[in-house]
Chain A
Amino acid sequence: MKTVYLDNGATTIPDASVLSLVQKISSQEYGNASSIHHMGVQARAVLEDARKKIASSIDATPDELLFTSGGSESNNLAIKGFAFANKNKGNHIIITKIEHECVLNSCKWLQTQGFEITFLDVDKEGFVSAKSLEDAITPKTILVSIIHANNEIGTIQDIPALYSICKKHKVILHTDACQSYTKTAVSSNFADMITLNSHKIHGPKGVGALYVRKGIKLTALIHGGGHERNLRSGTENVAGIVGFAYASELAFEKKHVQKMQSLRDYFINEALKIDATQLNGATGKNRLCNNVNISFRGIEGESIIAMLDLDGICASTGSACASKSLDPSHVLMALEDDAERAHGSVRFSLSRYTTKEEIDFALEKLKSTVQRLRKISPISRE
């Protein structure tokens, strides 16, 4: 059975040329980048070259970029590291109701440590309003963290507008750009701290980065030999980082975004022709170029993706049945208090390798799956 992989929001297939570079660097530049012998110096050189490339891709300087193990670690470091280092300035943090779990749960944990968290509402398409952010800021507010492009529904926030509110009130803004990096503009002009990662852009897993504007103080979460300017100890994953930089170079080609966007719109238009469906998230340029998220009334998402999987199609769902907690997606529920919509949501996330043939195959199977499941559903939609 052929695999049709439409879960690129979860992770992507590593690009073959990236993988061979990672393999080459792993065997050739195996030195510890902290060592002073020539193998260490060589490893340091390729590492710093990668840092320079990724930093310049977001208009930052290399000394503002830290490497981590991935998006979750970067988000944890940005939020908890900032909270601990700046608690003398205030104990209030503002995030939204549609953050990734690693931001949400970092903040929920900070609540147990004496911090106060505001969870901003979003509108029906998943946008945070600049006014609601401004209204939530108090003299105790030290940090705002808002996801740039949402991983489930693909809505891209107007981060520059939100940043100007933060600057006006002298509050630091962090944004999680794991989904948006290379797919829409991400720049150090948009926020004070930015999370990036590698495996969403056809790079190796286990590598991420955090941009931290000069002058911002963080407390390290991992202590040790003082790597990454004392903020993230641990021998650098040189090969992975080099692979990350190369993956980002490849991903930045403009034609990829255009291709994904036109396939996305084709997919959405065709899927919405199925009866009793609705699109979740924003439309047009304010939506991630590779994200399709549709709710199907009267049927449940885990059943839909399990049925599609029997035909080789990989997708994901915001249904409670597919979550460990048995709660439906907090993102879908933040859009509207409509459990049937959340349970019946399916995300298809494309990549630059996705073809029209794959989309047509997925659409065909999607139509028959929805028909079959609706036929046995007690919630009548006829």
Chain B
Amino acid sequence: MYSKEILARFKEPKFAGEIEDADGVGEVGNVKCGDIMRVYIKVKDNKISQIKFKTYGCVAAIASSDFLCQIVLGKTLDEAIKTNAKDVIAAMGSDVPLVKVHCSVLAQDALKKAIEDYKKKGKKN
């Protein structure tokens, strides 16, 4: 049901892990739905200089988390926040099964929360 590209990325994600001194962390989802995504970012000159994720979920959830990280790395926060599901699905290279589209949207929500978290922290400092 999944393409080779998606499976390859699922098997060997490039951005899986965590950033201990992250500037922003965002998490969405819950165990009940079967998807939880947490995104860690480091910000330098208003750009995403480092990004990692941890995901509990299916193949599509893990692969789309990884593709999202790839897309937004190096982008400005404004650009990154505008990334949408279409960009992630396009990056995944081939058709994402229809029932899996919702998992592919979650990663951006986690990223948005991470950016919000970064901005909130900035205000406190």
**Partner pick for B56 among A307, A310, A326, A379, CB 8 A cutoff:** A379
Cα–Cα distance between A306 and B2 once the two chains are bound (Å): 9
Q: Of all chain A residues, which has the CB nearest B52? A: A376
A333 CB to nearest chain B CB (Å): 11
Q: 1/0 per position for A343-382, CB-CB distance to B under 8 A?
A: 1000000000000000000000000000000011111000
What chain B residues lie within 8 Å of A298 (beta carbons)? 56
What chain A residues lie within 8 Å of B102 (beta carbons)? 326
Cα–Cα distance between A108 and B11 once the two chains are bound (Å): 40
Docked-complex contact B7 and A378, CB < 8 angstroms: no
Docked-complex contact A319 and B34, CB < 8 angstroms: yes
Q: 1/0 per position for B10-38, CB-CB distance to A under 8 A?
A: 11010011000000000100011111111
Q: 1/0 per position for A316-349, CB-CB distance to B under 8 A?
A: 0001111010101000000000011001000000
Cα–Cα distance between A328 and B32 once the two chains are bound (Å): 9
Cα–Cα distance between A53 and B40 once the two chains are bound (Å): 65
Docked-complex contact A303 and B57, CB < 8 angstroms: yes
Docked-complex contact B54 and A321, CB < 8 angstroms: no
Cα–Cα distance between A361 and B13 once the two chains are bound (Å): 24
Docked-complex contact B58 and A302, CB < 8 angstroms: yes
Docked-complex contact B57 and A321, CB < 8 angstroms: yes
What chain A residues lie within 8 Å of B77 (beta carbons)? none
Q: Does B59 belong to the interface (CB within 8 Å)?
A: yes
Q: Does B55 belong to the interface (CB within 8 Å)?
A: yes
Given A299-B56, A319-B58: A376 and B13 interface contact (C-beta under 8 Å): yes
Q: Does A300 belong to the interface (CB within 8 Å)?
A: yes
B109 CB to nearest chain A CB (Å): 14
What chain B residues lie within 8 Å of A326 (beta carbons)? 99, 102
Cα–Cα distance between A368 and B96 once the two chains are bound (Å): 27
Cα–Cα distance between A320 and B99 once the two chains are bound (Å): 11
What chain A residues lie within 8 Å of B34 (beta carbons)? 300, 319-321, 328, 339, 343
What chain A residues lie within 8 Å of B72 (beta carbons)? none
What chain B residues lie within 8 Å of A322 (beta carbons)? 58
A111 CB to nearest chain B CB (Å): 26
Q: Which of A303, A340, A376 is packed against the most chain B CB atoms within 10 Å?
A: A376
Q: Does B85 belong to the interface (CB within 8 Å)?
A: no
| Chain B, 49-107, CB within 8 A of any chain A CB | 53-62, 99, 102-103
**Partner pick for A378 among B2, B13, B37, CB 8 A cutoff:** B37
Docked-complex contact A378 and B54, CB < 8 angstroms: yes
Dominant SS among interface residues on chain B: mixed
Docked-complex contact A376 and B55, CB < 8 angstroms: yes
Cα–Cα distance between A306 and B112 once the two chains are bound (Å): 29
Docked-complex contact B10 and A306, CB < 8 angstroms: yes
What chain A residues lie within 8 Å of B99 (beta carbons)? 324, 326
B101 CB to nearest chain A CB (Å): 11
Given A376-B16, A378-B36, A378-B38: A307 and B31 interface contact (C-beta under 8 Å): no
Cα–Cα distance between A319 and B99 once the two chains are bound (Å): 14
Docked-complex contact B32 and A306, CB < 8 angstroms: no
Q: Of all chain A residues, which has the CB nearest B12? A: A372
What chain A residues lie within 8 Å of B32 (beta carbons)? 339
Cα–Cα distance between A351 and B27 once the two chains are bound (Å): 42
Q: Of all chain A residues, which has the CB nearest B100? A: A321
What chain A residues lie within 8 Å of B7 (beta carbons)? 306, 310
Given A339-B34, A378-B27: A300 and B11 interface contact (C-beta under 8 Å): no
Cα–Cα distance between A107 and B48 once the two chains are bound (Å): 54
What chain B residues lie within 8 Å of A379 (beta carbons)? 31, 36, 56
Q: Which residues of B contact A (CB under 8 A)?
A: 2, 7, 10-11, 13, 16-17, 27, 31-38, 53-62, 99, 102-103
Q: A302-B58, A376-B53, A378-B37 are in contact. List 12 more A-B contacts (CB 8 A).
A: A300-B57, A303-B10, A303-B57, A306-B10, A310-B7, A321-B35, A321-B103, A339-B31, A339-B33, A378-B27, A378-B38, A378-B55
Which 7 A-B residue pairings sit nearest by Cβ, starting from the closest? A321-B58, A378-B54, A302-B58, A378-B38, A376-B16, A343-B34, A339-B32
29 contacts between A and B (CB under 8 A): A299-B56, A302-B58, A303-B57, A303-B59, A306-B10, A307-B10, A319-B58, A320-B33, A321-B34, A321-B35, A321-B58, A321-B59, A321-B103, A324-B99, A326-B99, A326-B102, A328-B34, A339-B34, A340-B31, A343-B31, A375-B16, A376-B13, A376-B16, A376-B17, A376-B55, A377-B56, A378-B36, A378-B38, A378-B54
Q: Which residues of A contact B (CB under 8 A)?
A: 298-300, 302-303, 306-307, 310, 319-322, 324, 326, 328, 339-340, 343, 375-379
